[in-house]
Structure 1
Amino acid sequence: MNKDQREGLKEEVKGYVNKGVGSITGNEDRKVKGEVQITNGDNRKDLGDQKENIDKGKVDPGNPSNL
Structure 2
Amino acid sequence: MNSDQKEGIKEQIKGWTDTAIGSVTGNEDRKLKGDVEITNGANRKDYGDQKDNVGKGIEDPGEPTNQ
Q: TM-score per shorter chain, which class?
A: over 0.9
TM-score, normalised relative to structure 1: 0.95
Count of matched residue positions in the alignment of Structure 1 and Structure 2: 67
Structure 1's unaligned 5+ residue stretches are none
Identity within the alignment, %: 63
Assess if the C-alpha contact under 8 Å between 1:4 and 1:45 holds in 2: yes
TM-score, normalised relative to structure 2: 0.95
Structure 2's unaligned 5+ residue stretches are none
Q: Does 1:36 align with 2:39?
A: no
Report 1:1-67 matches (<5 A): 1-64=1-64, 67=67
**Which one has a larger percent helix, Structure 1 or Structure 2?**
1
Runs of 4+ in 1 over 2 A off after TM superposition: none
Letter of the structure 1 residue corresponding to residue 13 of structure 2: V
RMSD: 1.2
Q: Distance in 2 between matches of 1:32 and 1:6?
A: 22
